[in-house]
Chains A and B, each alone.
Chain A
Amino acid sequence: EDKVVQSPLSLVVHEGDTVTLNCSYEVTNFRSLLWYKQEKKAPTFLFMLTSSGIEKKSGRLSSILDKKELFSILNITATQTGDSAIYLCAVVEGGSEKLVFGKGMKLTVNP
């Protein structure tokens, strides 16, 4: 059973649209949740969330965590073709060094 579930698994939008990516998780002792962006090669870090209700923001990207409902969302406003990538969500369980990744969500932004 998957501990980290991302939805949708793929999405095609037009430039300028706003998108919301979802990540739900089920772990026994939550420590942190991380978002990564993966283009052609290695994943690059976007956000790490540990506290509920506190929005992290970087330019057009923002993310928030709901520890009560066990999910996080990643918002991208005014999308650009450069936002096309796979977005990965991962959760760290307390007491462990390990990240558990979701399957990833493929975003395609068309001009």
Chain B
Amino acid sequence: NAGVTQTPKFQVLKTGQSMTLQCAQDMNHNSMYWYRQDPGMGLRLIYYSASEGTTDKGEVPNGYNVSRLNKREFSLRLESAAPSQTSVYFCASGRDRGLSEQYFGPGTRLTVT
């Protein structure tokens, strides 16, 4: 099992450019999540998907959109990147509603200049 995979690992964007971060899991989990991690801020939830076909906003959704393409895949899109979106982005998946651990992907380091 690959677990949770993310692409790309690194990305540099210019302000105003768009991009999509891809995430896939092979653990047959229902729930998937996108987080960002900034120094001194811990992990903050951007969006999550409790099941295929549903998505909900987390703590910091502004400037992002998501798509739960199928049970395996959950993508995060930046339509018009801003320097404030420079961060490390983690995708995660989990089996049960709040009663099981989440497994994290390796992260994407994004720099917006």
Q: Chain A interface (Cβ within 8 Å of chain B)?
A: 31-32, 34, 41-45, 48, 50, 88, 90, 92-94, 96-104
Contacts and interface: CB of A to CB of B under 8 A. Distances in A.
A103 B102 contact: no
Interface stretch (B35-43, B61-69, B70-78): B35-43
Interface in B47-84: 48, 50, 56, 58-59
Q: How large is the interface on B (under 10, 10 to 19, 20 to 34, 35 or more residues)?
A: 20 to 34
Contacts of A100: 45, 59
A50 B99 CA distance: 8
A42 B45 contact: no
The 3 closest A-B pairs by CB, nearest first: A42-B104, A92-B98, A45-B101
Contacts of B100: 48
A107 B59 CA distance: 27
A97 B42 contact: no
Given A32-B99, A41-B107, A98 B58 contact: yes
A48 B101 contact: yes
Contacts of A94: 98
A56 to B, nearest CB: 12
A32 B98 contact: yes
A94 B11 CA distance: 36
Contact of A104 (B42, B90, B107): B42
Given A94-B98, A97-B48, A43 B43 contact: yes
| Central interface residue in A31, A90, A97, A104, by most chain B CB within 10 Å | A97
A21 to B, nearest CB: 14
